[in-house]
Amino acid sequence: MAKKVFVGMSGGVDSSVTAALLKEQGYDVTGVYMKNWSQDLPGFACPWKEDYQDAKRVAVQLGIDFKMYDFEKEYRHKVVDYMIAEYQAGRTPNPDIMCNQEVKFKLFLNTALEDGADMIATGHYSRIKDGQLFTAANVDKDQSYFLYRVTADALEHSLMPIGDFKTKDEVRAVAKKFGLATADKKDSQGICFVGKVGIREFLEQFVTAEPGDIVEQNGIKIGRHDGALFYTIGQRHGLYVGGGLPYYVVGKDMAKNEVYVTTDLQDERLWREELHLTDLHWINNEPESGRNYQVRTRYRAPLVTIEGMQKDDAGLRLSLSEAVRAITPGQSAVIYDGDRVLGGGIVV
């Protein structure tokens, strides 16, 4: 009997092709739209109805069963509330990582298995082999950074068939071969499931921010900000302070409600050769001492060689082979062994 696979179908081309490929490979495929967010925001209409209809249209084209799981309450609690709390604490979280950890590869997986599925599948650009996570063949689209908090057990029950495609054009070509309605649909942007709204516009609906001082490297107040939580390390745009050299955010004090900036691109607060990680997660096993590993400090950032690792009570300290710019508390640092993802942690 064919294995039953529930495919998370977002209404985009990647998950549409995922469903088509798995059906072609002989799996018993059911499409599932996860309704995680439906609230419109001022100036931004949530696209969930359109996405749901696109996913359903593709399911009909493929002749597969289709259903919707309503995870809106859990998504709000696990992802949105977490994101808001982190920003209010002065950190810069990654909601997509939390969405993968809590919703797609926990809530969706468990609900699907209880609903009769043997496995789930998603349109992620990553590869799974023997319960281990690897980077995608498409280096530009690789999403393994966002998946480092997924468990080995979840990976054992998951499929990511488009991780082997080397270009997005190849994926769209497959969609056109199957005649899928989403073949030419543009990639989604913005916060996971919410739509094209930016982080700041999103946060403004849920937090009250107080104006405060912007302070430059010599301790001189040079302007006012409209909420310290909106600013992140390395940020250049949106400061609205006088001409001359551009200013970059190098820090903030949430208690004083101050944002610190510099015009010096070599300012030591902009560069770090050491990382301190907490809230560690390893997919399979912890890193072994004496091995050469690499770390990625943000999505699309180049891999940097780790020269030393030291455990402490709070987590893990990393010494890097070179200084890395704009390391940001609250962001994730993901550790790789070549093209295999070991795991990682949250930057302190």
What is the tens place of the pLDDT at every residue in 242-276? 778 899 999 999 999 999 999 999 999 999 999 99
Give the whole-angstrom CA distance, residue 128 versus residue 130. 7
The reported pLDDT for the residue numbered 187 is 85
The reported pLDDT for the residue numbered 244 is 83
Q: Quick one: tokens of 339? A: 């093209």
The per-residue pLDDT for range 95-121, each reduced to its tens digit, is 999 999 999 999 999 999 999 999 999
The reported pLDDT for the residue numbered 1 is 87
Catalytic residues: 99, 192
CATH number of the domain at 250, please.
2.30.30.280
CATH number of the domain at 324, please.
2.40.30.10
What does the pLDDT average to over 126-137? 97
Domain shared by 92 and 167, yes or no: yes
Domain shared by 100 and 183, yes or no: yes
Domain shared by 296 and 224, yes or no: no
- The number of folded domains in the chain is 3
Q: Report the Cα 341 to chain-centroid distance in Å.
A: 15
Residue 11 near residue 52 (C-beta atoms within 8 A): yes
Pairing of strands 258-262, 248-253: antiparallel
Lay out the sheet containing 248-253: strands in order across: 221-225, 212-215, 258-262, 248-253
The reported pLDDT for the residue numbered 41 is 85
Among 42-46, 143-147, 190-194, where is mean pLDDT lowest?
Answer: 190-194
Give the residue from 199, 225, 247 where a domain finishes: 199
pLDDT at 122 over 80: yes
DSSP symbols for 178-227: TT-TTTTPPPP-SBTTTBS--HHHHHTTT-----EEEE-TTS-EEEEES-
Domain shared by 13 and 132, yes or no: yes
Burial class (CB in 10 A: 0-12, 13-18, 19+), 216: middle
Residue showing tokens 């940001």: 328
Q: Under 8 Å CB-to-CB from 257, ≥6 apart: which residues?
A: 210, 211, 212, 213, 228
B/e letters for 250-287, b = 16+ CB within 10 Å, e = fewer, are bbbeeeebbbbbbeeeeeebbebeebbbeebbbbeeeb
Domain shared by 331 and 278, yes or no: yes
Domain shared by 21 and 164, yes or no: yes
Give the residue from 232, 247, 262 where a domain finishes: 262
pLDDT at 52 over 70: yes
Give the whole-angstrom CA distance, residue 4 versus residue 26. 10
Residue 347 near residue 318 (C-beta atoms within 8 A): no
Confidence grade of residue 241 (pLDDT, cut at 50, 70, 90): confident
pLDDT at 74 over 80: yes
Give the whole-angstrom CA distance, residue 56 versus residue 266. 52
The reported pLDDT for the residue numbered 242 is 73
Q: Under 8 Å CB-to-CB from 320, ≥6 apart: which residues?
A: 272, 273, 274, 275, 295, 304, 305, 306, 307
Taking the chain, what is the end-to-end CA distance rounded to the nearest angstrom?
A: 49
Confidence grade of residue 82 (pLDDT, cut at 50, 70, 90): very high
Domain shared by 179 and 279, yes or no: no
Give the residue from 157, 177, 199 where a domain finishes: 199
The per-residue pLDDT for range 324-346, each reduced to its tens digit, is 999 999 999 999 999 999 999 99
Q: Quick one: tokens of 80? A: 């949105």
Confidence grade of residue 195 (pLDDT, cut at 50, 70, 90): low
Domain shared by 122 and 229, yes or no: no
Question: Which among 6, 47, 51 is positioned nearest to 27, based on CA atoms?
Answer: 6
Domain shared by 166 and 48, yes or no: yes
CATH number of the domain at 54, please.
3.40.50.620
The reported pLDDT for the residue numbered 116 is 98
**Full domain range(s) for residue 224:** 208-262
The reported pLDDT for the residue numbered 183 is 95
The reported pLDDT for the residue numbered 238 is 83
Domain shared by 23 and 78, yes or no: yes
The reported pLDDT for the residue numbered 193 is 63
Task: Report the predicted TM-score, pTM, of the whole model to 2 decimal places.
Answer: 0.95
Among 134-143, 229-238, 273-282, where is mean pLDDT lowest?
Answer: 229-238
Domain shared by 193 and 309, yes or no: no
Give the whole-angstrom CA distance, residue 18 versus residue 9. 9
What does the pLDDT average to over 279-297? 95
Give the whole-angstrom CA distance, residue 72 versus residue 87. 21
Confidence grade of residue 194 (pLDDT, cut at 50, 70, 90): low
Domain shared by 30 and 100, yes or no: yes
Selected residue with higher pLDDT from 238 and 205: 205
Give, for 88, the enclosing helix (H) or strand (E): helix 81-88
Burial class (CB in 10 A: 0-12, 13-18, 19+), 244: exposed
The reported pLDDT for the residue numbered 144 is 98
Residue 271 near residue 325 (C-beta atoms within 8 A): yes
Task: Name the 3-class secondary structure at 147.
Answer: helix
